[in-house]
Structure 1
């Protein structure tokens, strides 16, 4: 605000700059929509590496091309992805288990544990309960394992009382990435394993031999052998350590670790003995009168509880992928995500009906036009020859949009799940090439040529010659080629509207993607104009801000021309905004740019000169 001088002297004011910075938006954030092994349904999840995808969506699955597309995206230079898991209608069953409590007169359900997301993946989860807490008579611990036996999550000192700060539902449901729980009664679930009766202050005689059975394997053990172990244990904790050592020394069944991994813990004056296994059948039983005298014939439960009942459902159909705009499902779930530039739908390539695939492509293109995104379309898997591609291309005539590009043929890669060579749709790989090209050269550089290599690709399903490539290129099919030394590369950069017969101004992929970047950047960078006084001072500011933004791109080589005047212009004055526009609250800004177009055809002319050169 202006300074009001009150005394003789020098006053200093800081004035804001007249230039409002317009920031270049991202150009290569890629959305992947389709079936995955696990993950939240119809919810966009941002990932920054394939490791993120493995943690959140379960990694590769043989029946899901999305996982392979994401892997290829990051291998080829991608940095940020957004994944939307879509499942077939009716899928929704999640694995779960109900834990009982026998602390009352009759056994009753106490705690329901359910996998956080639907699908059969939850069947690999195991849960265990123990009472090894500061208040063993009131609270319990809950651990979540996987089938390998590794502890994934652990929650301590839980309560079944809703008023308690450690209420199980509150603690677990807010902190777990894999399960949700529901308390069914105000009684704790029973601990897993075998729980002894309370020991008296003086421990009983531990020298008699007892029988221990885990699963189908029975072994004899003497807890305390004075000749070997020395003095007898004096406390329950010492007894637990000695018993654990003795049990772990017993021989296991071949390939098992039920005895070798046995855990013996203490809560209060009781022992809890749990087999070192994630097999619910490996129940620890102490047999005989000697075991009863030691109080080891207490409650007997499995070492873990397995979650069951999850269903994956079938592959998502076209209605599942298209989704509902109102419910924000399928590709419509991307409507709420701000920064997405590329869209990949790798499952379409495997559709038996090309018409179904075209229907999804049509809906995806409409979304891309609305959100200023670009769609990478895979050629159908049935196109196994050049003739198949030429004959089947007419099916895409109705969806020849400048917001999409079609790539042919498919790639042959090593499937990490089987170690064998198999074919995959190229969209994820091409998206990675686009991201790498954007980072190295800029969005105005065509993602094709000898620099657009495809790392990891062993071969192409349809090797193409120059002449064969020449039959598809005029029809706006971007071919993938293999050249000696260079290897597999992307060898086309046309939009689906780039067929020679259409003569579209958006013929080339880099031209369309550059325009999308400019549109989104100017859309976000000029919002400050709204509700400003609509006069010449505003127009001058707009020209200054937009011009500064375009000039920075010109200096990076984004436009044609040797001077700024020939490369771009910004017009905002009384010619673009009339008095009638001012009265209606409208300001019109006209921006023009001269895009760089790829050198698609290089013609070298050679002439033989007659006569001799003068020396």
Structure 2
């Protein structure tokens, strides 16, 4: 309670009405797969365009080297072509993939992540100096009063020059404009003239790291760990390499130590030994990933730390262990939906059904067949798995119509053909089983012609119903954090009910809920009908919400009869 100690007028603000509750995004996709470069552990990277993907993960992989594991780049490109706006990507690398490395006796440099891409990284070194000054007075004990000592640090290698000769040394301490060196300088070193000819300067180098069109420059880097421009600190923010100092105890100039006898006005070297690995060394464990704690997760596990993604796919990977792990991941989080591919060789109805029978979940959907698209790498048409394209269709449908619209009867952009042409009789068998076919219709292009999950529960038969509930549950969860630790009283219950009622009314008006009025579309129960005194004493607030989702008109039936003249 506020204190009122002196007479006056007090104005206080308080909240009494409903809090705005915003709907979460349902169109952000998450992809996992092989790439030419990119991190293999940590957090998935946000990608907003195909060009963004190329910068972070490189270009397309060759079919001869990686076969059916190479489709991540194609899937991401199809995702954006078909209406996707943003996705998160996590790279998987074979166990025998190696990072390129190089350096020498002074520096150890390694490419940021494994892959042959690192062999194209080149490091260039040029001598530099961050500070120089003149010596005003020579003191006892190897100490010298200088004009400006602000940029000198203990451990810095310095060079004194009088125009004719040079002397190397090391800074021991710096205090009040006085620099103490490891050893005394010889000769007359003082110079008080306006334009000095005798100066003492620090010795550093400028490092440039180049890869293709990418370039990083670290100016006036030092081998002195005590200096703020220590090379390890500067290169620590690099997107291309990891660098560490192996040995730098010599008093020689850093550039001379690094370049050695090959040094001149500049020195450079390229990394080597990087390898993409082989497809034969890949296993389901590489895609499933490991959980070694925050920031160190790989594969599917890396998306545990991501609460934005709502659509998941591992393009072209049809191993049951991987796909079942992806479905389990979506089910355990309850906030995302998995799009699954079928093996390309599974074209016959019985083979498709055999793979379909592995799944029973409302958090995933199967699509077949594979799609024919143009390959920019080989300059020819190839067949790719449909998951990336379908994820783009989901995103486009969500943006234009809403998550309540079944992502079906939608055209596929950038697709010129199908691997298999299924007919109505074959779809009569596959559709009830929960396999969504992609079909070509005369004059209508290639379209998604199915909207079913892999669930045996008829309540969760349709994709849009499950994704609508994901949207509602995530939105209410994210928008209700303000309730936690509030007094569990009737006033709070009323505010919660008003907040959710306003949100669901807006969802109903958008056409996501059935009914001619809000009362027919949903109900909200909170209070003594949903909570006992024990619930309240245990700190629980229970709100029961019922909604009537719209269902797609999957079967359109026109019943016709003959009208006679007497009728």
Give the Cα–Cα distance (whole angstroms) in 2 for the partners of residues 573 and 185 of structure 1.
Answer: 69
- 2:136 aligns with none
Give the Cα–Cα distance (whole angstroms) in 2 for the partners of residues 132 and 82 of structure 1.
Answer: 40
Give the Cα–Cα distance (whole angstroms) in 1 for the partners of residues 5 and 269 of structure 2.
Answer: 79
Match of 2:351 among 391, 394, 407: 391
Deviation at 1:520, TM superposition (A): 1.1
Structure 2: give runs of 5+ residues left out of the alignment.
132-157, 160-202
Give the Cα–Cα distance (whole angstroms) in 2 for the partners of residues 17 and 76 of structure 1.
Answer: 44
Equivalent positions of 1:199-278 (< 5 A) are 272=265
Q: Is the CA contact (8 Å cut-off) linking 2:93 and 2:114 kept in structure 1?
A: no
Equivalent positions of 1:41-190 (< 5 A) are 41-43=40-42, 44-62=44-62, 63=66, 64-91=70-97, 93-99=98-104, 109-131=105-127, 138-146=203-211, 150=213, 152-174=215-237, 176-186=238-248, 187=252, 188-189=254-255
Q: 1:151 to 1:512 in 2, by over 3 A?
A: closer
- 2:452 aligns with 494
Give the Cα–Cα distance (whole angstroms) in 2 for the partners of residues 412 and 447 of structure 1.
Answer: 20
Give the Cα–Cα distance (whole angstroms) in 2 for the partners of residues 306 and 531 of structure 1.
Answer: 58
Equivalent positions of 1:314-333 (< 5 A) are 314-315=278-279, 316-327=282-293, 328-333=297-302
Q: SS at the partner of 2:351?
A: helix
Q: SS at the partner of 1:114?
A: strand
Q: Which moved more, 1:389-398 or 1:367-376?
A: 389-398
Give the Cα–Cα distance (whole angstroms) in 2 for the partners of residues 544 and 323 of structure 1.
Answer: 43
Deviation at 1:127, TM superposition (A): 1.6
Equivalent positions of 1:439-588 (< 5 A) are 439-449=399-409, 452-497=410-455, 502-588=456-542
- 2:269 aligns with 305
Q: Is the CA contact (8 Å cut-off) linking 2:415 and 2:446 kept in structure 1?
A: yes
Q: Is the CA contact (8 Å cut-off) linking 2:16 and 2:495 kept in structure 1?
A: no
Q: SS at the partner of 1:505?
A: helix
Q: Which moved more, 1:544-553 or 1:523-532?
A: 523-532
Q: 1:114 to 1:539 in 2, by over 3 A?
A: same
- 2:342 aligns with 379
Give the Cα–Cα distance (whole angstroms) in 1 for the partners of residues 562 and 261 of structure 2.
Answer: 96
Give the Cα–Cα distance (whole angstroms) in 2 for the partners of residues 348 and 326 of structure 1.
Answer: 24
TM-score by length of 2: 0.79
Give the Cα–Cα distance (whole angstroms) in 1 for the partners of residues 329 and 271 of structure 2.
Answer: 39
Bigger relative contact order, structure 1 or 2 (CA pairs below 8 A, ≥6 apart): 2
Q: Which moved more, 1:558-567 or 1:465-474?
A: 465-474
Does residue 433 of structure 1 match 2:393?
Answer: yes
Encode CA deviations 1:309-361: one digit per residue, 9 max, x unaligned. 11222333111111223452220111111111111011313xxxxxxx22222
Give the Cα–Cα distance (whole angstroms) in 1 for the partners of residues 310 and 235 of structure 2.
Answer: 36
Give the Cα–Cα distance (whole angstroms) in 2 for the partners of residues 318 and 482 of structure 1.
Answer: 33
Encode CA deviations 1:16-35: one digit per residue, 9 max, x unaligned. 24212222111121111121
Encode CA deviations 1:280-315: one digit per residue, 9 max, x unaligned. xxxxxxxxxxxxxxxxxxxxx7xx412101122233
Give the Cα–Cα distance (whole angstroms) in 1 for the partners of residues 532 and 259 of structure 2.
Answer: 80
TM-score by length of 1: 0.73
Give the Cα–Cα distance (whole angstroms) in 1 for the partners of residues 557 and 86 of structure 2.
Answer: 38
Q: Is the CA contact (8 Å cut-off) linking 1:407 and 1:427 kept in structure 2?
A: yes
Q: 1:195 to 1:341 in 2, by over 3 A?
A: closer
Deviation at 1:171, TM superposition (A): 1.2
Does residue 407 of structure 1 match 2:367?
Answer: yes
- 1:295 aligns with none
Give the Cα–Cα distance (whole angstroms) in 2 for the partners of residues 35 and 26 of structure 1.
Answer: 27
Q: 1:194 to 1:392 in 2, by over 3 A?
A: same
Give the Cα–Cα distance (whole angstroms) in 2 for the partners of residues 86 and 25 of structure 1.
Answer: 28
- 1:267 aligns with none
Q: Which moved more, 1:483-492 or 1:588-597?
A: 483-492
Equivalent positions of 1:353-364 (< 5 A) are 357-364=319-326
Structure 1: give runs of 5+ residues left out of the alignment.
100-108, 197-270, 275-300, 350-356
Give the Cα–Cα distance (whole angstroms) in 1 for the partners of residues 127 and 387 of structure 2.
Answer: 52
- 1:286 aligns with none
